[in-house]
A and B are shown apart, each in its own frame.
Chain A
Amino acid sequence: SAVISQKPSRDICQRGTSLTIQCQVDSQVTMMFWYRQQPGQSLTLIATANQGSEATYESGFVIDKFPISRPNLTFSTLTVSNMSPEDSSIYLCSVGTGPTTGELFFGEGSRLTVL
């Protein structure tokens, strides 16, 4: 299993600013993902955070808007840049502990409100 801590748990941000979300895992994990969940909606994959290399982004998400770092096997950050009200959402860090498909563990999420 894996225990994930995300910070901040929530924040209120001004339009045009940037915010960095941190994800810390209590063990080394192979796969780390960042998801977005708008209120009452499904989970949308933003990107796969790759250790030691650039993240792999899904269609509709770009590095300039959502830069991601993953310096080691237990930590990752997601920055939401130049925020607008449309970025108001819950951002979730997720990890898989094996190299193949299996259980995903999710952090509690970071709820961002952009004014």
Chain B
Amino acid sequence: QQPVQSPQAVILREGEDAVINCSSSKALYSVHWYRQKHGEAPVFLMILLKGGEQKGHDKISASFNEKKQQSSLYLTASQLSYSGTYFCGTEIRAAGNKLTFGGGTRVLVKP
């Protein structure tokens, strides 16, 4: 079942922060985050495997609340390069990277 992402879109000014949420109706084994720029392939940001685990990538970090079956991606002090569509991908069990992706969140960072 497809995880639900919110918001669907967000517009930021450079330097502002944003949070993207990814919720599942089922217990999760892992949550992956990817960013896709227009006309390009999705690019891996990070993976979270344990409940409560937080990971970071530059000023982009994420948390995984296993109990709530959700993950959040934090864009801190956003840069123009953060613009793109962010997808969470989930596994409900160890399935060798077979991911179900959320609907995506479009992020536009303006100067």
Interface residues of A (CB under 8 A from B): 30-31, 33, 41-45, 48, 92, 96, 98-109
Contacts and interface: CB of A to CB of B under 8 A. Distances in A.
A62 to B, nearest CB: 18
Contact of A103 (B2, B29, B47, B49): B47
A42 B95 CA distance: 20
Interface stretch (B12-20, B59-67, B70-78, B98-106): B98-106
A45 B91 CA distance: 12
Contacts of B87: 42-43
Given A33-B97, A45-B98, A98-B97, 11 more contacts: A33-B98, A42-B102, A43-B42, A43-B89, A45-B99, A92-B42, A100-B94, A104-B34, A104-B42, A106-B42, A107-B41
B32 A104 contact: yes
Q: Which 6 residue pairs of A and B lie closest in terms of their CB atoms, listed nearest first?
A: A96-B97, A106-B41, A103-B44, A43-B101, A42-B101, A42-B103
Given A43-B101, A101-B29, A101-B49, A31 B96 contact: yes
A101 B44 contact: no
Interface residues of B, number: 26
B40 interface: yes
A95 B49 CA distance: 19
B30 interface: yes
Nearest to A107: B41
A64 to B, nearest CB: 22
Contacts of A42: 2, 87, 101-104
Given A42-B87, A106-B42, A108-B40, A31 B104 contact: no
Contacts of A41: 103-104
A31 B99 contact: no
Interface string B79-98: 00000000101010011111
B5 to A, nearest CB: 9
Nearest to B104: A42
Contacts of A48: 98
